[in-house]
Amino acid sequence: MCFFPGCEEAGEFRAPPENPRDAPDGPPQWRWFCLDHIRAFNQGYNFFKGMSAEEIDEAQRPYSGWGAETRAFSSQAASGTPPPRWADFADPLDAIGARFRSRAADMAERRDGKPLSGADRSALKTLGLQPDADRRALRTRYTELVRRFHPDHNGGDRTHEKALQDVIAAYGHLRKAPAFA
C-alpha cells in the first residue's frame, strides 16, 4: 500500500527514508508510494534538508565518499605488496581462461620459426588452417573449399560466392607469403 496517509493505491515506487542520515547501518528502510504521491514527494524532496553548511559542503565535494585509497594509488603500492594472483579469482564460466586460450591460439607461432603477419593469420583463419600448415595442407584445403563453394559443384547455387572469393583471395595471399615459400 502507498505510504501516504489515507491512500489506498498500490505502493510501486520507492522513496528514501525521512532522514537517511539517522538510519542505522544496513539497507535503508524504503517508503513506497503510488505514482501520484511519488511525484509529489519528488517535487518537495531536498537531500540537504536539516544539514549545516559544513555538512552540505562536505557532501558536495568531488571526492566525498572516496576515503579509501585504491591499491594502485595507495602508499602501500610502492612498498612492494604483490598484485592479486589469477588463482585468487573464481571463473566458474571460464570466461577469462577461454578468451586467453583463444587469443593464445590466434597468436601461435610456427614450429619452423617462419614469421606470420596479421594478413597471413587472417588468411589461415579463412581457410581454417593452423599456423603450422605447410604448402601441401594449404593446397589440399584450398581445393576442398573451392569444390564446396563453387557454383558448378552446387547446381548453379551462387549463395556461397562471397565465401569462394574469400577462399581464393586467402589462398592467393598465402601462396606468396614467406612462411609458405
**What is the pLDDT, as a whole number, of residue 39?**
93
Burial of 42 (0-12, 13-18, 19+ CB in 10 A): exposed
**What is the pLDDT, as a whole number, of residue 17?**
79
Q: Are 170 and 123 in contact (CB under 8 A)?
A: yes
Q: Which residues of 127-152 are buried (b: 16+ CB within 10 A; e: fewer)?
A: bebebebeeeebeebbeebeeebbee
Q: Are 69 and 75 in contact (CB under 8 A)?
A: yes
pTM over 0.75, yes/no: no
Give the count of alpha carbons within 13 A of 28, CB side only: 12
Pairwise CA distance, residues 75 & 97, whole Å: 32
**What is the pLDDT, as a whole number, of residue 67?**
58
**What is the pLDDT, as a whole number, of residue 79?**
60
Predicted confidence (pLDDT) per residue in 91-103, tens digit: 777 777 777 777 7
Domains delineated in the chain: 13-60 (no CATH), 118-180 (1.10.287.110)
**What is the pLDDT, as a whole number, of residue 26?**
63
**What is the pLDDT, as a whole number, of residue 46?**
85
Q: Are 45 and 18 in contact (CB under 8 A)?
A: no
**What is the pLDDT, as a whole number, of residue 81?**
65
Residues of the chain scoring pLDDT < 70: 19-28, 62-84, 86-87, 106
